[in-house]
Structure 1
Amino acid sequence: MKKTISVFVLLLTIVLFSSFNRENAAPRLYPELDRYFAALNLKQVDQSHAQSLENIKSNLSMSNMDRADWNIIFYCSENSFRSQASQVFLQTLSFANKHKNVKVFSAGKTASGVDARLIDYLTQIGYKVSKTERRNATAYEVRFSDQADPIVLFSKPASDKSLPGSDVTSVIVCDSGKEAECKDIQTSSLQFKLPFEKVETADARDKAEKVLKHIATEMAYVTNKRN
């Protein structure tokens, strides 16, 4: 009888230990993405962004104490490049760093389309991207893990009804001081400024990639629980 109880206790211990390990294991990104984000230097954030980054990081940390969703919307002029990239990177890294209640969106003062250079870059660094359709326009499903739902990228204005209207952190990623089309973006909450350099249609590929890496680095910074 004692032997039977001992075996039962051993099996129960193994099951509980395995369950604990599964729960506490970091969610798995695709290997190429793991390598990409691991190689980013988190000391290379823009010091002029420091206050906004700390505010976003603080809000993100507080979301872990609440069971309700924490919504963040990145706004830009046309919702084609910087805001879309910020959405993808923050959602990916929130998942990887176990910020469980984070829901990330993006919008623009106007809508245009998702920049092909962003899609090329995401594919290059390890995302699995497939073309789809949303509201009779081209959209993209962006996958970063087989354990998570894809991100659906499509361009939309700030007035779009698919965007959350409450419990929102609003972040402006275009520069209203330099870009006239970025002024007067209406948001549903207090705005944080996180201006990234604008990439023009005629700009070379290396400039686009530099800006995207900068965005990825700052999204990695705010989601990193160790810094």
Structure 2
Amino acid sequence: MYSVLSESIKRLQVNNISEERVKVLQPLVDYIQQKVNQNKAVNLNFICTHNSRRSHLSQVWAQVASVYFDIPNVNCYSGGTEETALFPKVAEILENQGFQILKIAETNNPIYAIKFDENEMPIIGFSKKYDNAFNPVAQFGAIMTCSQADEGCPFIPGAEKRMPITYEDPKISDGTLQQTEVYKQRSIQIATEMMYIFSQITK
């Protein structure tokens, strides 16, 4: 894992998550643990409205957490109720936290290769609907990262379990002097919680 990213992870305060949030995270811990116990692949699809901010941050940090804690056969995806584009500030914040971001297709909906280790496959980041062919069609957990998607998608086809783990949208800071700090803090919050989740898994 890249050294700057490792340092970013070490600074996370995983033990300071509130009891209220621990209860919110527990269903995902249980889902992953059940899959690990059964020696089955852990497929996680993080879903938000536009698949542009929170769902990507969750996908990326969950994948990294699984590698960090050496939990095998974890595949993390993301999707939206509609397709837009990965918001550039998200890529910028991840790069600042130690990822290598490579734009591999320049379109209205760019495709990014998000690398966290020299010898690991990159995470592919682009906006897509949750049922896009890039994502699993069955045997996956659906994690709803925003309340709008949670309310707007009462049923996710193919999902074995649906778990709301929602975050405040950093979009509220767009166009303000606080934008970079707000995106950074949301990334840190999501990273901390994903690290906590995978730290609870026993092999």
TM-score by shorter chain over 0.5: yes
Correspondence for 1:224: 199
Cα shift at 1:134:
8.3
Please name the residue that 2:66 is paired with. Answer: 94
The residue aligned with 1:144 is 116
Pick from 15, 27, 39: which aligns with 2:11?
39
Q: Classify 1:70/1:182 alpha carbon distance in 2 versus 1 (closer, same or farther; 3 Å).
A: closer
Q: Distance in 2 between matches of 1:111 and 1:48?
A: 32
CA contact (8 A) 2:86 2:109 kept: no
1:8-47 alignment runs, 5 A limit: 29-47=1-19
Contact 2:93–2:180 (8 Å) recurs in 1: no
Q: Specify the code of the residue in structure 2 equivalent to 1:79.
A: N
Structure 2, unaligned stretches of length 5 or more?
Answer: none
Shift of 1:226: 7.8
Q: Verify: 1:48 aligned to 2:20, yes or no.
A: yes
| Alignment partner of 1:183 out of 151, 155, 173 | 151
The counterpart of 2:57, out of the listed 85, 92, 101, is 85
> Paired residue for 1:214?
189
Distance 1:182 1:67, change over 3 A: closer
- Percent sequence identity is 21
Q: Amino acid of the residue matched to residue 156 of structure 2?
A: T
1:198 to 169, 175, 190: 169
Q: For the aligned residues, what is the CA RMSD?
A: 2.1
Q: TM-score scaled by structure 1?
A: 0.79
Aligned length: 195
Aligned to 1:106: 78
- In the other structure, the counterpart of 2:105 is 133
How far off its partner does 1:107 sit? 0.3
Contact 1:131 1:139 in 2 (8 A): yes
Q: Which runs of 5+ in 1 are unaligned?
A: 1-28
Give 1:98's aligned amino acid: D
Q: Is the 2:64–2:116 Cα contact (8 Å) retained in structure 1? A: yes
Superposition pairs of residues 155-170 of structure 1, within 5 angstroms: 155-170=127-142
Higher RCO (C-alpha under 8 Å, 6+ residues apart):
2
Q: 1:104 to 1:135 in 2, by over 3 A?
A: farther
Alpha carbons 2:33, 2:201 under 8 Å: kept? no
Using structure 2 for the length normalisation, give the TM-score.
0.87
Taking a change above 3 Å as real, the CA distance of residues 205 and 134 of structure 1, as seen in their structure-2 partners, is closer
Query: How far does residue 182 in structure 1 lie from its aligned partner after superposition?
Result: 5.6
CA distance in 2, matches of 1:208, 1:152: 20
